Amino acid sequence: MQRVSTQELAAVPLLGRTAPTFHHTMVGARRIVLFDDRPPAFIAELHSDGSGAWATRALLHPLPEDDSSPWAFGADTDYIVTLVMSALHHLA
């Protein structure tokens, strides 16, 4: 567990980044939980059976106020695609 935790804390799973993503680990039931409590607060669970989960909060941007969109906020789709690709690559 210590070897995997050390390896994962040094990893840079986010595409386009050069610094580690996770800064803390804890051990759960048959899993290692990686997290970073600084915004946008990344978390990953790596299970002993090979499954896993990855989560973060998408950054929202205010949208211009007009009659063409009922939404007040939107998300950067390129950022979301990069996050999904990074998470899938890391979990694989």
What beta strand segments (E) does 1-92 contain?
24-28, 31-35, 43-47, 52-55, 60-62, 73-75
Given this model, what pLDDT does residue 51 score? Answer: 94
Q: Which strand (E) or helix (H) includes residue 72?
A: none
The tens digit of pLDDT for each residue in 7-48 reads: 889 989 988 888 888 999 999 889 999 998 887 789 999 999
